[in-house]
Structure 1
């Protein structure tokens, strides 16, 4: 049983888009740091 397919759309609200980007960037940086420690 897989995940439900979601529609990928551009976030029109500038502020909301910025917040989402910042959260994702932080998560990616955390993962990159974890990989660099190995």
Structure 2
């Protein structure tokens, strides 16, 4: 039971980290487009 919960939590953590890095990269591209003169 604990192992299943641990693997489930790690999957959620990896997924949230991946989505966060994807969103941050998109935000960085948008910011670079706005900040370039």
Higher relative contact order (CA 8 A, sep 6+): 1
With the length of structure 1 as denominator, give the TM-score of the two structures: 0.66
5+ long unaligned stretches in structure 1: 1-12
Greater Cα radius of gyration, structure 1 or 2: 2
In structure 2, runs of 5+ residues without a counterpart are 1-7
Q: Higher helix fraction: Structure 1 or Structure 2?
A: 2
Over aligned residues, Cα RMSD in angstroms? 0.3
Kindly tell me the number of residue pairs found equivalent between the two proteins. Answer: 26
